[in-house]
Amino acid sequence: MRFDIITLFPDFFTSAFNCSLLGKAIAKEIATVNLVNPRDFTTDKHRKVDDITYGGGVGMLLKPEPMFAAVESVPVLPQREIILMTPQGQPLDQPLLKDLATNYQQLVLICGHYEGVDERIRQHLVTKEVSLGDFVLTCGEIPALTVVNGVTRLLPGTVGKVESLKSESFEAELLDYPQYTRPASYRGWQVPEVLRSGNHKRIDQWRKEEQIKRTRDRRPDLYEKWNSI
């Protein structure tokens, strides 16, 4: 998978791309990351990437010229999506991450700033808009990093035990079940007896029941979705 990140702040990603599983996946070339700064495509001495809005209003918008040039500077792979990280986009969830990881070779991620982008970028350059949720952040780098992380961990070779991906939260629309490690007793709090029984059939049944209960209590919206399948 190739990621091309269009960002005004390339240094934002330095630490994240050099540590943990994400750093290992990049080192093993399971994923490749290319950072492109739109300021490199400006033509004025101030390297200006934003301007005031037509019709008045508060704040500045990202200009179309450097954004188009930045995206058009990267190679084009056959299965490509150009994604604008914006609160107006499709909510990011596990099915979307799976779709991106499975069906695409290249993701171009545009990190928004200021009051947003010129509408021509949205209409004529972007192919998908993605949001982390119903809130506003100071920059698009945070959601872009989230997409890179969420997609890369689904790529073959990133996670050592593929089985662990099949029993996580949001698989089959349910949250994860409670999990415990040693010691069996800590400050009087006990690991459930069923998990220490060695009876795998009982353990599987308990885990499924806990997934359903936890989803019903914490995420009624997901529970209703699961219950209607």
Residues 137 and 182 in one domain: no
3-state secondary structure at position 25: helix
Residues 142 and 173 in one domain: no
Does 143 map to a domain?
yes
Q: What is the pLDDT of residue 39?
A: 97
Percent of the residues in the chain that have a pLDDT greater than 90, as a whole number = 86
Whether pLDDT at 174 is above 70: yes
Residues 24 and 125 in one domain: yes
Residues 175 and 147 in one domain: no
Residues 113 and 190 in one domain: no
- CB 77, CB 106: distance < 8 Å: yes
Residues 139 and 76 in one domain: yes
How many domains is the chain partitioned into structurally?
2
The DSSP bridge pattern shows strands 189-190 and 185-186 to be: antiparallel
Residues 173 and 111 in one domain: no
- Peptide bond preceding 183: is omega within 30 degrees of 0, i.e. cis? yes
Residues 134 and 216 in one domain: no
Host domain of residue 119: 2-152
Does 82 map to a domain?
yes
Residues 119 and 24 in one domain: yes
User: Which CATH number fits the domain that encloses residue 47?
Assistant: 3.40.1280.10
Q: Which residue has the tokens 């969830």?
A: 93
Task: Tell me what the mean pLDDT of segment 121-145 comes to.
Answer: 95
Least confident of 60-69, 158-167, 176-185, 214-223: 158-167
User: Which CATH number fits the domain that encloses residue 201?
Assistant: 1.10.1270.20
Does 159 map to a domain?
no
Q: For residue 13, which of 118, 96, 111 has the smallest C-alpha distance?
A: 111
43 backbone dihedrals φ, ψ, rounded to 5°: -120, 0
Residues 146 and 85 in one domain: yes
